[in-house]
């Protein structure tokens, strides 16, 4: 990437597809015409070629070592986005059983997952934060899950509302815990052994659109019926090393580079979490110290380190804020229409400098308009 191209980049607060590390983009650019040693571009290469198989294994192994994933789990690279997982999960783990699946609803994405799951079997929404406009997550004891539930599903970070679980929700040990971690994947360490399945589309925090990482405990692979459409059966993907059909090769390649960047440049997920806490705190302090000029959407104990959502006193000020921010190279800050206000998505790859710049802009804007 030329220096000019880099200097033309604004601070991009898009919720997804979203900011990627400049060093990763630069590597991709360097290797785009010809993958070193391969004599073709990665995009022109068979997914059965040894160079790609190495890239695939490298991406998987980087995720395994970053997250401490043991061989009890399969790591799959699938297409269809997070949205297909809304259906694949109940199709494999609920369809045809007489069990009920438990869902915790703390925002828009959980709600969509519930809508799809209803088509597959019986579900029980054990906790619903809709009546408070999705501004919090449940505490332990706020809901009950039956010991024989097919699974307990939740979304660890609701991207639109900016509401994040600080740790896993309580779940009986007999029930597989399932997480949509699309917008906080790799933002902090977690104990994967607590999960039956955890998945994330890449385009928020881990790469470009096109690939979804699914980490599934191997004993769950046998639950899908052979009558499922082949693509929808997790077992097919696990048995064929994510090559049951052509996987999204380019997206997997970039995801692998992002995982390496986290390991080598950032220093792992503990270090990433510390940075994310500091970055998000800069914005939450600007909100809390604005004497009520900015109103946080999420309750303080479940504020997201990834998507910071807040509102301004009125629509004129909101419009002026977005315009003024863009003039300061701070772009894509408009909140989702269902929540309104501002949403600053500050994923792993958002440099601290971008967050500092936004925090300063917020303070300046509040003092001029408050």
Ligand X SMILES: *Cc1c(COP(=O)(O)O)cnc(C)c1O
Please identify, using beta-carbon distances, which residue of 16 and 224 lies nearer to ligand X.
Answer: 16
- To the question of whether residue 180 is assigned a binding role by annotation, the answer is yes
- Within its chain, how far is the Cα of 261 from the centroid? 17
Report whether 96 contacts 224 (CB < 8 A).
Answer: no
**Contact flag: residue 20 with ligand X (CB under 6 A):** no
Catalytic residue among 111, 184, 204, 261: 204
CA distance 60 to 216: 13
**Contact flag: residue 204 with ligand X (CB under 6 A):** yes
Stretch that binds ligand X, among 90-98, 180-188, 281-289, 319-327 (CB under 6 A): 180-188
**Contact flag: residue 188 with ligand X (CB under 6 A):** no
**Contact flag: residue 175 with ligand X (CB under 6 A):** no
Stretch that binds ligand X, among 4-12, 78-86, 126-134, 340-348 (CB under 6 A): 78-86
Stretch that binds ligand X, among 37-45, 75-83, 139-147, 257-265 (CB under 6 A): 75-83
**Contact flag: residue 161 with ligand X (CB under 6 A):** no
CA distance 303 to 260: 28
Please state the closest distance from residue 200 (CB atom) to ligand X, in A.
8
Interface residue with ligand X, options 1, 38, 53, 83 (CB under 6 A): 83
Stretch that binds ligand X, among 29-37, 77-85, 323-331, 352-360 (CB under 6 A): 77-85
Q: What DSSP letter does each residue of 35-90 carry, written as one string?
A: -TTTSS-GGGS-TTSHHHHHHHHHHHHHHHHHHT--TTEEEEEESSHHHHHHHHHH
Report whether 73 contacts 190 (CB < 8 A).
Answer: no
Report whether 200 contacts 181 (CB < 8 A).
Answer: yes
Catalytic residue among 111, 180, 235, 257: 180
Active site residue 119: no
Report whether 197 contacts 132 (CB < 8 A).
Answer: no
- To the question of whether residue 245 is assigned a binding role by annotation, the answer is yes
Please state the closest distance from residue 15 (CB atom) to ligand X, in A.
7
Please state the closest distance from residue 82 (CB atom) to ligand X, in A.
3
Please state the closest distance from residue 229 (CB atom) to ligand X, in A.
18
Please identify, using beta-carbon distances, which residue of 184 and 312 lies nearer to ligand X.
Answer: 184
Please identify, using beta-carbon distances, which residue of 53 and 83 lies nearer to ligand X.
Answer: 83
DSSP summary character for residue 352: H
Closest to 196 in 3D by CA, of 110, 107, 85 = 85
CA distance 21 to 257: 10
Active site residue 244: no
- To the question of whether residue 263 is assigned a binding role by annotation, the answer is no
Interface residue with ligand X, options 24, 45, 76, 82 (CB under 6 A): 82
Residues 226-255 that bind ligand X (CB under 6 A): none
CA distance 206 to 200: 9
Find tokens 């206000």 and name the residue: 341
Interface residue with ligand X, options 12, 164, 182, 242 (CB under 6 A): 182
Report whether 33 contacts 9 (CB < 8 A).
Answer: no
- To the question of whether residue 203 is assigned a binding role by annotation, the answer is yes
Stretch that binds ligand X, among 176-184, 241-249, 254-262, 332-340 (CB under 6 A): 176-184
Interface residue with ligand X, options 117, 155, 178, 312 (CB under 6 A): 155
Crossing angle (nearest 10°) for helices 269-288 and 352-369: 10
Find tokens 């090393």 and name the residue: 241
Q: Is 312 exposed, middle or buried (0-12, 13-18, 19+ CB in 10 A)?
A: buried
CA distance 92 to 101: 12
Closest to 122 in 3D by CA, of 152, 158, 98 = 98
Interface residue with ligand X, options 135, 159, 309, 332 (CB under 6 A): 159
Residues 101-140 that bind ligand X (CB under 6 A): 109
Active site residue 109: yes
User: How many CB atoms sit inside 10 A of residue 186's CB?
Assistant: 25
CA distance 328 to 108: 30
Please identify, using beta-carbon distances, which residue of 149 and 155 lies nearer to ligand X.
Answer: 155
Active site residues: 109, 180, 204
Give the residues lining the site for ligand X (CB under 6 A): 16, 81-83, 109, 155, 159, 180, 182-183, 201, 204
């Amino acid at each position: 990437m030329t220096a000019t191209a880099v200097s033309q980049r604004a601070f991009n607060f898009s919720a997804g597809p979203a900011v990627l590390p400049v060093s990763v983009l630069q590597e991709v650019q360097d290797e785009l015409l010809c993958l070193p040693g391969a004599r073709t571009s990665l995009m022109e290469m068979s997914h059965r070629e040894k160079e790609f198989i190495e890239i695939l294994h490298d991406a998987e192994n980087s995720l395994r070592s970053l997250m401490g994933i043991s061989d009890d789990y399969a790591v799959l690279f699938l297409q269809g986005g997070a949205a297909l997982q809304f259906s694949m999960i109940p199709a494999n783990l609920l369809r045809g059983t007489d069990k009920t699946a438990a869902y915790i609803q703390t925002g828009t994405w959980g709600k969509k997952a519930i809508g799809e799951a209803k088509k597959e079997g019986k579900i029980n929404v054990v906790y619903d934060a809709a009546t408070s406009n999705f501004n919090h997550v449940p505490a332990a004891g706020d809901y009950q899950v039956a010991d024989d539930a097919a699974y307990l599903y939740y979304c660890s970070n609701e991207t639109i509302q900016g509401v994040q679980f600080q740790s896993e929700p309580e779940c009986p040990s007999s029930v597989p815990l399932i997480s949509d971690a699309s917008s906080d994947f790799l933002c902090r360490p977690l104990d994967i052994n607590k999960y039956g399945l955890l998945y994330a589309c890449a385009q928020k925090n881990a790469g470009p659109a096109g690939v979804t990482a699914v980490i599934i405990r191997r004993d769950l692979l046998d639950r899908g019926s052979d009558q499922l459409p082949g693509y929808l059966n997790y077992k097919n993907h696990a048995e064929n090393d994510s090559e049951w059909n052509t996987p999204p090769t380019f997206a997997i390649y970039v995801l692998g580079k992002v995982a390496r960047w986290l390991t080598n440049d950032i220093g792992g997920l503990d270090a990433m979490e510390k940075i994310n806490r500091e970055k998000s705190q800069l914005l939450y302090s600007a909100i809390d110290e604005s004497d009520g000029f900015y109103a946080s959407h999420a309750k303080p104990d479940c504020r997201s380190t990834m998507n910071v959502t807040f509102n301004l006193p009125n629509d004129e000020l909101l419009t002026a804020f977005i315009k003024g921010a863009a003039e300061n190279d701070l772009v894509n800050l408009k909140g989702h229409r269902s929540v309104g206000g501002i949403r600053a998505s500050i994923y792993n790859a958002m440099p601290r400098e971008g967050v500092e710049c936004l925090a300063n802009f917020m303070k300046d804007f509040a003092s001029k308009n408050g």
